[in-house]
Amino acid sequence: MTPRPNFTVPLPGGRQLVLGERTLVMGILNVTPDSFADGGLYLDPGAAEEAAVEMEAQGADLIDVGGESTRPGSEQISEDEEIRRIQPVLQRLGRRLTVPLSVDTTKPEVARMALGEGAAMLNDVSGLRYDSTLAEVAARGGAALVLMHSRGRSRDMYREAAYSSVGTELLNELGASLERAVTAGVPREAVILDPGLGFAKRPAHSYAALAALPELAALGRPLLVGPSRKSFLAAAIGRPERVEGRPAAERDTATAAAVTAAVLLGAHLVRVHAVREMTDAVRVADMIRGAGPANT
């Protein structure tokens, strides 16, 4: 069993995330018209609010709110539009939820707004490649910062999907993102790292990234893994008559397998759509971890 160290990640207002004692579940709340798995479902702030409340009731430890799709091929939107989508949702969730809120953004102005509305974590899919000012915003706000591995932009990321050694290259590139954050003033203990399954990675690369989690532990930071309903899963479960594989809505069982593997390989958090089902998978995986030789 891959060892999993414990971490305490500081949050604004003196709160903390304790990571390692059990795996935490981050629920995905996309308030976008074009996200690959749930685009358009939660554009209405009221619908988004009720979905988040249900996720918390189902076992989510955090809710990650996103106002811009980052799926491959998606187009970037303006800061104003992203703020317009997520600000009313954050205002509602701040009154209803007890779990911390994360905001999935690469834009400093969106991040400033989000922290002002009570968000405790920023989730940057670019690993500070797009705008390193985001790290300064996180530092000033005392927020936790997730840095994900990716290359290129959403519209052209697959052009960058060339690796000689996935584990080594992720280790080096995530390490560079971590150092960018620390240089900008983010405490090292506030950073969480994500291997970026599906981002600038062909299916084989995503499976290799998942298998490389023990290597990434060498960076000394907690690991978040987000396999939920992604197309790399369809490569394993696609039906012969459908070259593109199963649609996102049919990938939850495959997601549960990837989530279980991630936990056993050392992930501290998993980011998922189907909170109830994935919480069950996580709890079983945690029981397996707890039954290992070091615990008997």
Between strands 62-66 and 101-104, the pairing is parallel
120, two tokens = 């405790």
d(C-alpha 159, C-alpha 127), whole Å: 18
DSSP letter string, 23-82:
-EEEEEEE--S--TTTTTTT-SHHHHHHHHHHHHHHT-SEEEEESS--STTPPP--HHHH
Whether residue 31 contacts residue 43, with contact meaning beta carbons closer than 8 Å, is answered with yes
How far does the chain reach from its first CA to its final CA, in angstroms?
Answer: 13
Of 92, 94, 137, 140, whose CA–CA distance to 119 is shortest? 94
Catalytic residue among 151, 201, 251, 271: 271
Give me the residue label for tokens 């893994």: 225
How crowded is residue 132: how many other Cβ atoms within 10 Å of its Cβ? 17
Tell me if residue 230 is catalytic.
Answer: yes
Whether residue 157 contacts residue 150, with contact meaning beta carbons closer than 8 Å, is answered with yes
Tell me if residue 271 is catalytic.
Answer: yes
215, two tokens = 């290597």
Catalytic residue among 230, 246, 251, 289: 230
- Residues with active-site annotation: 230, 271
